[in-house]
C-alpha cells in the first residue's frame, strides 16, 4: 500500500507538471459554470454531478495512463513487484483528483447558495459517488493505450458505444424487433441506473445496496481483465 501511495503521488505530480494537468480542473470548472447557473437541489446534485464527475474521473485516468505510457516511465514499472500496483496507483490517483474537484465544486455551490443539501441523507453521496467513480476509473483502464494489446482498446470503445447508443434508442429497438438487445442493455446498466436513482430519491433499501455491490463488482471485474492484459504486455516493443 505504501508503494501504491507513493506512486500515486508521483503520478499526480507528473500530471500537473504538464499542460494535461489543466484538463480535469478545466472540465470541473466548465461543469460548475453550466450546471449551477440556476442552482441545483440534492437529487439533481447526486445524479447530474455524480455522472459528470464520473466522466472527469474517466478522462483523468486516460490522461494519467497517457503520461505513464512513456519509455521514460517504464523503469518505474520494472521496479514494481507487480504491474498491478501501477494500475492500482492510477485508480487511486484519479479518485483523489476527482474527489478534490468534487469538494471544490460543492463548496463553491454552497457558498454561493446554488446548492441545497439535507442531512443526514447527504452522507449517502459519498458511497454512491465512490462506487460510480471506481467503475469509471476501472472502465477507462482497458480503454487506454497503456493497457491495450493488439488494439483491444478499440474493441472496448466499440462495445461501450453500442451499449450507450442502444440505451438511447430503446424505442427504435422495440420497433425493429430488437427488444432482446434492449433487455440485455437494461440488465447491464441496471446497477448504475438503480444506484443513482435510489440515491437521488433518498431510498437506501436492499435494491440500493445490491446496486452498490454490483457496481463495485463490475469495477473489480474490469480491473481483473485490465491486469491480465497488462501483466504480460511487451512495453519495450510497443505496438
Instruction: Tell me the pTM.
Output: 0.89
Write down the pLDDT at residue 239: 47
Cα dihedral 22, 28, 29, 31, rounded to 10, equals 140
Burial annotation 71-89 (CB, 10 A radius, 16+ → b, else e): eebeeebeeeeebbbbbbb
pLDDT for residue 52 is more than 70? yes
Rounded mean pLDDT, 12-25: 91
CA dihedral 98→101→103→106, nearest 10 degrees, is -120
Collect all residues with Cβ–Cβ distance below 8 Å to 58 and sequence separation of at least 6: 136, 137, 139, 140
Q: What is the mean pLDDT of residues 4-24?
A: 90
- Mean per-residue pLDDT for 126-133? 94
Which three three-digit cell numbers place residue 67?
Answer: 503520461
Break the chain into its structural domains and give their ranges. 2-231
- The percentage of the chain sitting over the pLDDT mark of 70, rounded to a whole number, equals 94
pLDDT tens digits along 79-109? 778 888 889 999 999 999 999 999 999 999 9
Per the prediction, the chain carries an average pLDDT of 86
Amino acid at each position: 500500500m505504501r508503494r501504491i501511495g507513493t506512486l500515486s503521488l508521483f503520478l499526480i505530480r507528473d500530471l500537473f507538471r504538464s499542460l494535461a494537468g489543466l484538463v480535469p480542473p478545466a472540465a470541473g470548472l466548465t461543469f460548475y459554470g453550466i450546471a449551477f447557473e440556476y442552482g441545483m437541489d440534492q437529487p439533481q446534485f447526486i445524479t447530474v454531478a455524480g455522472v459528470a464527475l464520473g466522466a472527469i474521473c474517466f478522462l483523468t485516468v486516460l490522461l494519467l495512463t497517457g503520461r505513464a505510457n512513456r519509455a521514460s516511465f517504464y523503469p518505474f514499472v520494472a521496479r514494481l513487484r507487480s504491474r498491478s500496483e501501477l494500475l492500482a496507483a492510477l485508480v487511486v490517483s484519479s479518485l483523489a483528483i476527482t474527489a478534490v474537484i468534487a469538494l471544490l465544486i460543492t463548496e463553491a455551490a454552497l457558498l454561493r447558495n446554488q446548492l441545497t443539501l439535507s442531512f443526514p441523507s447527504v452522507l449517502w453521496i459519498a458511497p454512491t459517488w465512490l462506487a460510480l467513480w471506481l467503475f469509471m476509473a476501472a472502465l477507462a483502464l482497458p480503454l487506454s493505450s497503456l493497457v491495450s494489446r493488439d488494439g483491444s482498446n478499440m474493441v472496448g470503445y466499440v462495445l461501450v458505444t453500442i451499449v450507450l447508443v442502444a440505451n438511447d434508442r430503446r424505442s427504435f429497438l422495440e420497433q425493429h424487433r430488437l427488444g432482446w438487445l434492449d433487455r440485455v442493455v437494461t440488465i447491464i446498466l441496471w446497477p448504475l441506473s438503480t444506484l443513482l436513482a435510489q440515491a437521488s430519491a433518498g431510498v437506501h433499501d436492499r435494491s440500493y445496496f445490491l446496486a452498490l455491490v454490483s457496481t463495485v463488482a463490475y469495477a473489480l471485474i474490469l480491473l481483473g481483465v485490465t491486469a491480465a492484459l497488462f501483466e504480460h504486455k511487451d512495453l519495450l516493443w510497443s505496438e
